[in-house]
Amino acid sequence: AKYTRVNQDTCIACGACQASAPDIFDCDGEEIAFSLIDENKGIRPIPEALLEDLEDAYMGCPTESIEVAEHPLVDGIKEQ
């Protein structure tokens, strides 16, 4: 399974990820992107049908702000 989230510190709100993968990424009020899958937590597996879109978004982000991993992305100490 794959997990994703946007690094919002480096996202420049170019919107490419939303264009490539509208079912995965969206932009908040300040137009910084986030993952719709799990409120940008990176803890819910991306559905198989969306993996190609995810790859496109990952490759297309000009600031490499899209994090993709094969394990849940959790900051610091693991939840629970």
Report the interface residues with ligand F3S, using CB under 6 A. 6, 11-17, 33, 61-63, 65-66
Closer of 44 and 54 to ligand F3S (Cβ):
54
User: Closest separation between CB of residue 77 and ligand F3S, Å?
Assistant: 26
Closest separation in Å from C-beta 48 to ligand F3S: 22
Distances (CA, A) of 55 to 10, 38, 75, 77, 80: 19, 18, 22, 28, 30
Secondary structure letter of residue 55 according to DSSP:
H
Q: How far is the CB of 80 from ligand F3S (least distance, A)?
A: 28
The radius of gyration of the chain's CA atoms, rounded to the nearest angstrom, is 12
